[in-house]
Amino acid sequence: MKPSDWDKYAGKKKYLHEVISPFSEKASTKLLQNEIKRFAGKSKSAIDLGTGLGFLLPFLSRNFKAVMAVDYSKKMIEFAKKHNKLKNVSFETADMRKMKFRNFDVAIAVNSIIASSVNDVEKILRNIHSLLNKNGVFIGVLPSLESVLYCAMLVYDKKLKSCDEKAAREETKKEIESRDYDFLLGFLKEKGGEQKHFYSFEIEYRLKKAGFKKINIMKLHYAWRVLEDKERYFPKEEPVWDWIVTASK
């Protein structure tokens, strides 16, 4: 997606309505914050890559000596700067594929590594590796493709209660593929273009390829009440998730 595609989400109400985000509910926000706290420190610096509206900035400001907020949407940066007047936070408009920043202890990217090209994803990961100090840490939230397949299974099981398997398969495919996924390579077509989604094994592979070590991947769940969507609502089952990832330089 181009910067102009993100400019239209530069308002809190519209952003949280249109974009699935850890900041949609307290539980997922808290889990992300707790993970960041493990690597925080009053003598450390952090960079928030794809800061969006700056939801994370007050927390980062309290837990780090210095914070840089980066986004390639000028309107997002304008909103984040206006609503986060924090003395130890600076703001930059930049493309993560081309940025030249250096000397950060922690780099955070919350659902912002979603480029429509694998080459671009790898450029971004290499850049993140380069901007970190020795023993620096990357903390990322990445869209999960396994979660989409899990949701398809739940939809399929629900439909089996009211029709035969052939009909259930056809209806499930119609329901899930109402959003245009490339399950082989992990892309989702949106109005503004394609976005990358990730299988967990691909995350580990691409992070290692970029030079990262000590990679840890776990689920960051989103409550069903946040994601209620026609047939895709199963409050008694494990909720869908994105991946939360930590990796060291």
Give CB contacts under 8 A, 24+ apart, made by 170-177: 175/230, 175/231, 175/232, 176/148, 176/151, 176/152
Element containing residue 70 per DSSP (H, E): strand 64-71
The DSSP call for residue 248 is E
Predicted structure pTM score: 0.90
Mind listing the pLDDT tens digit for each residue in 226-239? 665 555 789 899 99
Q: Mean of the per-residue pLDDT values for the chain?
A: 89
CA atoms within 13 A on the CB side of 120: 14
Which pair of tokens denotes residue 234? 């199963």
Q: pLDDT band at residue 175, thresholds of 50, 70 and 90? A: confident
Q: Evaluate whether 47 touches 67 at the Cβ level (below 8 Å).
A: yes
113-133 confidence digits (pLDDT tens): 989 899 999 999 999 999 999
Report the Cα 28 to chain-centroid distance in Å.
12
Amino acid 174: pLDDT: 87
Q: Mention every residue, 6+ apart, whose C-beta is less than 8 A from residue 87.
A: none
Domains located in the chain, CATH noted:
3-144+184-248 (3.40.50.150)
Q: Which helix (H) or strand (E) holds 241?
A: strand 241-248
